[in-house]
Amino acid sequence: MRLLLIVVLALAWLLPGPCAAASSRAPSLEEMVGAMIMVGFHGTKAPTSVLKAVAEGRIGGVILFDKGRRKGELYNVESPSQLKRLIVSLQSVAPRTLLVAVDQEGGKVCRLKPERGFFALPSAEAMGRMSEDEVRVLGFKAGVEMAEIGINVDLAPVVDLRRVSQSPGLGDAGRLFGAGSEQVTRQALAFADGLREAGVLPALKHFPGLGSAGKDSHLELPDVTKTWTKEELLPYVEAFQRGWPGMVLVAHVYHRGLDARLPSSLSFEVVEKLLRRKLGWDGVVISDDLQMGAVARGRSLEERVRLAVKAGNDILLFGNNLSYDPQLHDKVFQALMHLVREGAVSRERLEASWRRIENMKRNLEQSRAS
């Protein structure tokens, strides 16, 4: 009897348990497609359809907004306690860690505003005049607040270089750390270090550089063919050399010399060839909001999804804020599944994004546990 007990215990120790078996099995096509979708939704409580999609693995991430485009329209953020309850309701049904993102850059671009009870984060422009240590502390404070609420992704910092006197939607809004690559790299990476130390994933944006854009990509496609320089890539080069732990967000910007047909966010030439092959980035790439006017005008949802995936984006971001559709998450899911079924997107392509996303989540969870 004693020998039998020892054998049983040994087998129990050697054989994988339910969790190990679940984590080692190959993901389904539906799971891999869902992991690539990050979407916004309306309300201070998660809609039933969104909760169901999260529970089924058809949404891999959500993005939160404090307001809609219509004056007084409340989206997701009311107070710290309310926001924490919202996120818990989502994570509690998610089969895997759900990515929960905000744009918390500082200054005007803060979804977590002091008037709603959150930490007052200065603008990137203001942080550009501070020391690295001061900026790192600010990133850490903002990150601690986000992590305590349940936010695990900050779509920041902006590493665009200010190249023009008028910079709609960027420099004019105080979103740029400065004009020189050394200063911007130093301050932006200090802010990112603070976020990461607090357990929040940062995202460098907007690749390959929006600093010389004379138009706001929320509304129309900027053309930087004559104004963009290779110096705008230097913050990314430095970040990658340091072992960048987060994501890279690709901009809706046009440069004829990089791709004569498509904007960067939808371009294989920019995402796969320049960012991945030439600069060596093998981590997660997230598109900018695919509802923005720069790419949405003249393109169907299906075309945007197809081009974004073929370009090499791992996560397709749909803010669902510029225009609202309560079924948008399902439409994106069905569009991507259709591409897979018809053979336009292979399982191998999905698996590549799945591995990157899962590795990023795993590293995040390990850093939080340490």
Give the residue from 119, 187, 189, 103 showing the smallest Cα distance to 153: 103
DSSP at 110: E
**Length of the chain (residues):** 370
H-helix segments, the chain: 2-14, 18-24, 29-35, 48-55, 80-91, 124-127, 132-149, 181-197, 234-241, 268, 293-296, 301-311, 328-341, 347-369
> What is the arithmetic mean of pLDDT over 48-76?
88
172 is catalytic: no
The first and second tokens of residue 346, run together, are 């292979």
Q: Which stretch of 128-132, 135-139, 166-170, 204-208 has the lowest confidence by average pLDDT?
A: 166-170
In a domain, 231, yes or no: yes
What's the pTM value of the predicted model, to 2 decimals? 0.92
pLDDT above 80 for 163 = yes
Decide: 157 and 192 in contact? Cβ < 8 Å: yes
State the catalytic residue, choosing from 42, 172, 218, 223.
218
pLDDT digits (tens, 9 = 90+) for 204-233: 999 999 999 988 899 899 999 999 999 999
In a domain, 19, yes or no: no
- Mode of pairing for the β-strands spanning 104-106 and 109-110: antiparallel
Decide: 215 and 168 in contact? Cβ < 8 Å: yes
288 is catalytic: yes
State the catalytic residue, choosing from 103, 288, 289, 314.
288
In a domain, 288, yes or no: yes
The number of distinct structural domains making up the chain is 1
Residue 287 has a pLDDT of: 98
CA distance 39 to 19: 28
In a domain, 274, yes or no: yes
3-class SS at 183?
A: helix
In a domain, 15, yes or no: no
pLDDT digits (tens, 9 = 90+) for 193-208: 999 999 999 999 999 9
Residue 16 has a pLDDT of: 36
* Residues spanned by the domain of 51: 28-369
In a domain, 195, yes or no: yes
The CATH number of residue 268's host domain is: 3.20.20.300
In a domain, 250, yes or no: yes
